[in-house]
Every structure is written in C-alpha cells, then in structure tokens.
Amino acid sequence: MKKGYLLALLIALVFCGIASAQSSDQNPRAREAYLAYEKQVDSLHAASMGATIDKTYEAYDPLLIRQQRREERREFRRQLKLERARSRRFYFGYPYDYYGYRW
C-alpha cells in the first residue's frame, strides 16, 4: 500500500516537472545540454573573456617583402664574410694548402 502511494507521488512529481518545463517552453532535455557544456567552463573559458584572440594573417605587401629580401641578403653576406674569416684562420694555422703544397 505504502509503495503504491510512493509510486503515485513519484509519477505526480515527474508529471509536474514535465508540465512546468513545457509551460515555460523549455526543452525537456535542457539538463543534458547543460551537462555537455558544464565541463567546458574551465580556466580557458575565463581566459577568453574580454580578451583579444589573435588570428592574424600575413598581408601581401611588396615593400615589406623587398625589405625582408634585402635583410636576408645582408645577413647572408655577413655570414659569408664570417665563414671566410674563419676558414682563413684555419689555413694560416695549417702548414699545407688545399692541394698539399707546402707554403
């Protein structure tokens, strides 16, 4: 008898819940939707709030490209000079040249 009352109460509660959800036009699966997003509220979410997220792209700028190429050439020449200076030092310290002749 007691079990019957409990079951009736449970059914009434469920019915009331559904009825109230439907009356407010809320999706009955709203709880599931919430649970799916609940875990995503982490520090990353907080970090994205009020922040600027950079997704910048590189625009085609002929002047900038020319300047970059010039800098690359300068750097290459500088490296070449350094390399030459280094190899000269090596040759001076060594008694034989490339072909095996003594200096």
Partner 1 sequence: MKPFIPFLLFALFLGFACNRQVQRIETESTIDLSGRWNDTDARLTAAELVTEIMGRPWLERHVSKTGKEPVVIVGMVENKSHEHIEAEVFTKELEKAFIQSGRVRLVQGGEKREQIRRERADQQNNASQSTMKQWGLEIGADYMLQGSINSIMDAYKRKKVIYYQIDMELTNLETNEVVWIGDKKIKKFVKN
Compute the distance between CA of residue 87 and CA of residue 81 in angstroms, rounded to an integer: 10
Which one of residues 61, 72, 75, 83 is an interface residue with partner 1 (CB under 8 A)? 61
Q: Which of 35, 41, 53, 85 touches partner 1 (CB under 8 A)?
A: 53
Distance CA 100, CA 31 (A): 86
Smallest distance, Å, CB 60 to partner 1? 6
Asked if residue 52 binds partner 1 (CB under 8 A), the reply is yes
Task: Return the DSSP state at 28.
Answer: T
Residue 100: left (phi > 0), alpha (psi -120 to 50), or beta?
left
- The residue range among 10-18, 29-37, 61-69, 89-97 that interacts with partner 1, by the rule CB under 8 A, is 61-69
Q: Tell the smallest beta-carbon distance from residue 19 to partner 1 (Å).
A: 21
Window of 5-13, 57-65, 76-84, 93-101 that interacts with partner 1 by CB under 8 A: 57-65
- 101 touching partner 1, by CB under 8 A: no
34 binds partner 1 (CB under 8 A): no
For residue 96, the one-letter residue type is Y
Tell me how far apart the alpha carbons of residues 33 and 27 are, in angstroms, rounded to a whole number.
9
